[in-house]
Homo-oligomer: A and B are copies of this chain.
Amino acid sequence: MRGTMLYGPRDVRSEERPYPTIVEPTDAIIRLSAACVCGSDLWPYRGADPVTQPTPMGHEYVGIVEEVGSEVRLIEPGQFVVGSFFASDNTCEICRAGYQSSCIHRQPGAPTGSQAEYARIPLADGTLVATPGLPPEDLIPSLLAASDVLGTGWFGAVAAEAGPGKTVAVVGDGAVGLCGVIAAKRLGAEQIIIMGRHDERIALAKEFGATDVVQERGDEAVERVRELTDGFGVHSVLECVGHGASTETAIGIARPGGAVGRVGVPQEETMPASLPAFFGNVTIGGGPAPVRAYIEELLPDVLDGKIEPGKVFDKTVGLDGVPEGYRAMADRESIKVIVQP
């Protein structure tokens, strides 16, 4: 079958790979309907994370179940399923508390890579959510988004305590930030400030419900957000970038008693402890999103077309086009690339 391997910085290849097989009795094999390129795939692609050996790529996916292991009870061949970037048992104490991304049996969601024709999915019963019947083709991008960016934006909004009547700022206009806007809107936020600089992303953010745009950065961004919020800052901040500077801005624009939900993978070892975090009474939560926790909740709205997170995909490639997809995202020509095998 065709699959995607990363060999080193800017060296990602679509090549022949062995068909995945059941390894553990809790595994499933799925035929991919769609996968995508994640912002986090770009860290090793750009050389920011070292690539020590050729690595199968892709961890966001939807597909049709081909085969299940002997201990799989809930998932069956023929079902259309949505997965997550981490596999989780969905039964341990940590999963039951809603933190499947920290499941005590957590493992990579698609160890053979989902940018491929087929993939092995561990802990299938815990990880996969089946849709009622086969969804129509045009919903596949939004269902695919539910396997990572939608749930990640959602978790950012939950961690930032977004809700009815709240003022919300979303730091970062990438796919996760845009899904964060969808989440803030669905959670009832009154004001949603998107912070970014790319015209087409800002336009999509507005379509998703953003009410204000802040293009400034650093101290100027903090100043601008305060102007937009009667001098207070916002109740809720979604940090969807992960840089030290964006994290400082995120904490700086929260109002006293506000909350920051960090879903951008941190690129620095430390963050501010004192001012304004402590002295501003700002709560800082987040982390790897327990996407699995939200799939059932968000699926009906996706299937009804009430939310359309699939709009974050602005470039489509086949498996042979995956290297071009990486390039386009790395060069910021594309927000997010969908892979249709």
Contact with B along A266-282 (1 / 0, CB 8 A): 10111111100111111
List the number of copies, as a whole number: 2
- For A283, the closest partner residue in chain B by CB is B285
Whole-angstrom CA separation of A44 from B76 in the bound complex:
67
A232 with B94: CB separation less than 8 A: yes
> Which of A8-16, A95-103, A108-116, A206-214 is the interface stretch?
A95-103
Q: Which residues of B contact A256 (CB under 8 A)?
A: 94, 99, 101-102
Whole-angstrom CA separation of A159 from B285 in the bound complex:
12
Whole-angstrom CA separation of A273 from B273 in the bound complex:
9
Considering the complex, which residues of chain A in the window 232-280 have a beta carbon less than 8 Å from any beta carbon of chain B?
Answer: 232, 244, 247, 255-257, 259, 262, 265-266, 268-274, 277-280
B101 with A281: CB separation less than 8 A: yes
Q: Say if the beta carbon of A39 comes within 8 Å of chain B.
A: no
A283 with B281: CB separation less than 8 A: no
B281 with A273: CB separation less than 8 A: no
> Which of A20-28, A46-54, A286-294 is the interface stretch?
A286-294
Chain A residues with a Cβ closer than 8 Å to the other chain, count: 39
26 contacts between A and B (CB under 8 A): A93-B232, A94-B255, A94-B256, A101-B281, A102-B257, A102-B280, A244-B273, A259-B285, A265-B278, A266-B278, A268-B274, A269-B272, A270-B270, A270-B271, A270-B273, A271-B271, A271-B277, A277-B284, A279-B287, A279-B288, A281-B287, A281-B288, A281-B290, A283-B286, A284-B284, A285-B285
